[in-house]
């Protein structure tokens, strides 16, 4: 699993570059770019931070994901993970952020 950046959707806000703990992301010509995707350890910070859904995880075909994508929709109270599967199916998992640690 690794991230991909859809540069056509990127508005160059720099939020992803600010949150990446490995300093892997930077802006090139006002578009987010990753230095080397192999260095990404999948913390999801940039996926959750992007306001334009320009960053997503790919579910690699070699790992059984057949090229599906995972997006995040963040709001004040909830975080919704959207799985866009390769067969066109979409699944959503919503987490109440205020209760995320209540176990
Ligand atoms: S998933 Fe985490 S480590 Fe990977 S590029 Fe995004 S913020 Fe950086
Ligand atoms: S957070 Fe999203 S829109 Fe902003 S620079 Fe990063 S990829 Fe582009």
Locate the ligand 2 atom nearest the alpha carbon of residue 13 and give its number: 4
Answer yes or no: are the C-beta atoms of 45 and 35 closer than 8 Å: no
- Flag whether pLDDT at 60 surpasses 90: no
| pLDDT, position 102 | 72
Average pLDDT over residues 12-24: 97
Domains of the chain: 2-99 (3.30.70.20)
pLDDT digits over 23-46, tens only? 999 999 999 999 998 899 999 999
Nearest CA to ligand 1 atom 4: 40
- Flag whether pLDDT at 59 surpasses 60: yes
* Residues with a CB atom less than 6 Å from ligand 2: 5, 10-16, 32, 49-50, 52, 54-55
- Sequence-separated (6 or more) residues with CB below 8 Å from residue 57: 1, 2, 3, 4, 42, 44, 47, 69, 70
């Amino acid at each position: 699993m690794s991230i991909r950046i859809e540069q056509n959707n990127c508005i160059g806000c720099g939020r992803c570059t600010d949150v990446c703990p490995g300093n892997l992301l930077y802006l090139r010509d006002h578009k987010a770019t990753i230095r080397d995707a192999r260095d990404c350890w999948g913390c999801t910070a940039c996926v959750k931070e992007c306001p334009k859904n320009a960053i997503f995880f790919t579910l690699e075909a070699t790992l059984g994901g057949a090229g599906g994508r995972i997006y995040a929709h963040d709001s004040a109270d909830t975080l919704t993970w959207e799985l866009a599967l390769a067969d066109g199916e979409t699944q959503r998992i919503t987490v109440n952020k205020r209760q995320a640690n209540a176990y």
